[in-house]
Amino acid sequence: MFKLTRSDLFREAAYVGGQWSTGNSDAYMEIRNPATGEVVGRVPSLSREEVREAILLADHAFQDFRRWTGKARGAVLRKWAALMLENKDDLAQIMTAEQGKPLAEARGEIDYAASFLDWFGEEAKRVYGETIPAPRDNQRITVIRQPVGVCAAITPWNFPSGMVTRKVAPAIASGCTVLLKPAPQTPFSALALCVLAEEAGLPKGVLSVLTGDAVEIGGEIIRSETVRKLSFTGSTPVGKKLMAECAGTVKKVSLELGGNAPFIVFDDADVESAVQGAIASKFRNAGQTCVCANRFFVQHGIYDAFVNKLTEVVKGMRMGRGTEEGVTLGPLIDSNAFSKVSRLVDEARSKGATVLTGGTQHPAGAQFFAPTVVTDVTNDMTIANEEIFGPVVSITRFSDEQEAVALANSTRYGLAAYFYTSDLNRSVRISEALDFGIVGINEGAVSTEVAPFGGFKESGFGKEGSKHGIDEYSERKYICLGNVR
Ligand code: ADP
């Protein structure tokens, strides 16, 4: 299935308190390659007792790790980043086998994932507090920042490494310890990262990767009084449920949930760059990202030019196994994802939408949905209201700016939005009017470790990346010194 330079990076075990564990029962989960259906490997389904043990070990490790200097924690993170880059090809192969994305994209994700370790490796030295002039002359007020404690991170399958480091790096930089539950479809990328973390000098117990049943593991860590924080990336329904469960122990919570991003093309846009941006934002990871453009709104005057050019590019895209040279689009993650995308396209077609290309299964395999362009989409179609999470461009025509903004904002989600225009004043007006946490103007690729990533409305709250990322893993403590003479 893959030829790794370092075969020890592929681990069929959970990582608990610094030990590799095959679990204390025979229960396991099988992971299949979404491109071929072949079994990639298996990981143990940990029991509740093992999860409780992992929590104890994380708490124990925290008592020591919290006293480390930021400089020392940062050095480990930066070494870990360097090791990821050294082993990029192996990590990319593991990712492509379990997730399906083309190898070039997987390599790109390793760079992206390592960038969070590197960035927060620097930020670890800058978890600044403040001093505040006191209202009484015999008092002194300071504010220090301290790690939250033991944190839980629950991550999705679409970025098996990137979503892990985006949470784990700021937690470690701040001095927390982390219990990570990776998506059941993609545990091997997370486990490979543990091998390298250990090599970089991360102490035992600071990071554990718990494999097994989501509800059992999730339930155990969320009910725990020891776990003080949950960071979750995944679907909105699961996020809402976990947020409610966290109320039981009043955990600090950050949520990165569904998207439904609008992509608006105004008459004055540059067609070439709008098409390029549309491809970048729509087809990354075969359309399976939460910032993927989900609803295209194109103004009358530029409509034909944009749609024709985009359809031509989409028709030329190469879909296939991620290991094949030149392939830019892989499969969907599983058969449920395939059925959902098919259902959305079929329903749109039956309600009057036009399929210009694609719209069916691709010959590459069972879970490959052909790159698709659908026009004449109206708001009564499910495709206009739900996250597609597949390689399908869904286009609606609009007449004026007001209508475009109203259409774009008419969603319960608020993660990313994109628009193309060459009018400076319009770019200011629209960027301020869009109710989304991330706005790309004449840009379709917005993710970077240096900027705060996070949504509004039902897309969640909390920022990942940037100098603000540490806020989610630290508490401000106000210290008042009185009776100073
Ligand atoms: P998707 O699979 O569409 O990305 P999910 O929200 O189902 O979205 O999954 C995201 C992550 O949440 C995965 O790691 C999954 O295992 C986990 N998860 C799903 N349901 C629960 C639950 N009830 N408790 C804890 N974790 C869950």
d(CA 385, CA 396): 12
d(CA 217, CA 397): 46
Pocket of ligand 1, beta carbon within 6 A: 154-157, 181, 183-184, 214-215, 218, 234-235, 238, 241-242
Amino acid at 41: G
Distances from the Cα of 117 to the Cα of 85, 166, 183, 252, 289, angstroms: 11, 8, 20, 22, 21
Question: 274: CA distance to ligand 1 center in Å?
Answer: 34
> Angle at Cα 390 formed by Cα 389 and Cα 394, nearest 5°?
95
Three-state DSSP class for 81? Answer: helix
**Assigned CATH topology for domain 7-257+459-478:** Aldehyde Dehydrogenase; Chain A, domain 1 (3.40.605)
* Residue 67 burial by Cβ neighbours in a 10 Å radius (0-12, 13-18, 19+): exposed
Q: Please give the number of the atom of ligand 1 that sits closest to the Cα of 239.
A: 6
List active site positions: 256
Can you give the pTM of this predicted structure?
0.97
Ligand 1 atom index nearest CA of 333: 2
CA-CA distance, 34 to 40, in Å (whole number)?
10
For domain 261-441, say whether CATH 3.40.50.300 is its number.
no
36 Cα to the center of ligand 1, angstroms: 23
* Token duo for residue 6: 């370092």
Which residue lies with its CA nearest to atom 18 of ligand 1?
Answer: 214
Residue type, 97: A
How far apart (Å, rounded) are the C-alpha atoms in residues 54 and 436? 37
How far apart (Å, rounded) are the C-alpha atoms in residues 36 and 13? 23
- Note whether 209 and 190 are within 8 A (CB): yes
Ligand 1, residues 46, 230, 238, 242: which to mutate, most atoms within 8 A of Cβ? 238
**Nearest residue (CA) to ligand 1, atom 13:** 183
* pLDDT value, residue 1: 76
Q: CB of 388 within 8 A of CB of 341?
A: yes
pLDDT in the model for residue 45: 98
- Tell the residue nearest (CA) to atom 15 of ligand 1: 183
pLDDT by 10s per residue, the chain, length 485:
789 999 999 999 999 999 999 998 999 999 999 999 999 999 999 999 999 999 999 999 999 999 999 999 999 999 999 999 999 999 999 999 999 999 999 999 999 999 999 999 999 999 999 999 999 999 999 999 999 999 999 999 999 999 999 999 999 999 999 999 999 999 999 999 999 999 999 999 999 999 999 999 999 999 999 999 999 999 999 999 999 999 999 999 999 999 999 999 999 999 999 999 999 999 999 999 999 999 999 999 999 999 999 999 999 999 999 999 999 999 999 999 999 999 999 999 999 999 999 999 999 999 999 999 999 999 999 999 999 999 999 999 999 999 999 999 999 999 999 999 999 999 999 999 999 999 999 999 999 999 999 999 999 999 999 999 999 999 999 999 999 99
Nearest-atom number in ligand 1 for the CA of 155 is 14
Distance CA 54, CA 56 (A): 5
Taking a C-beta distance cutoff of 8 angstroms, is the pair 186, 160 a contact? Answer: yes
Whole-number pLDDT of residue 2: 86
H or E element in which residue 62 lies: helix 48-65
Hey, which of 31, 48, 154 would you mutate to test ligand 1's pocket, going by the most ligand atoms within 8 Å of its Cβ? 154
Distance (Å, rounded) from C-alpha 359 to C-alpha 369? 8
Nearest CA among 116, 96, 78 for reference residue 31: 96
Q: How many whole angstroms from 298 Cα to the centroid of ligand 1?
A: 34
Q: How far is the CA of 172 from the centre of ligand 1 (A)?
A: 23
Q: Given the CA of residue 235, which atom of ligand 1 is nearest to it?
A: 6
Every domain of the chain and the residues it spans: 7-257+459-478, 261-441
Helix (H) or strand (E) holding 29: strand 28-32
Determine the distance separating the centroid of ligand 1 and the alpha carbon of 11, expressed in angstroms. 22
**Angle at Cα 100 formed by Cα 230 and Cα 393, nearest 5°?**
85
How far does the centroid of ligand 1 lie from the alpha carbon of residue 232, in Å? 9
Distance CA 212, CA 220 (A): 12
Q: Is the dihedral of CA 155, 160, 162, 164 positive or negative?
A: positive
Residue whose CA lies nearest to ligand 1 atom number 14 = 183
Q: Which atom of ligand 1 is nearest to the CA of 182?
A: 14
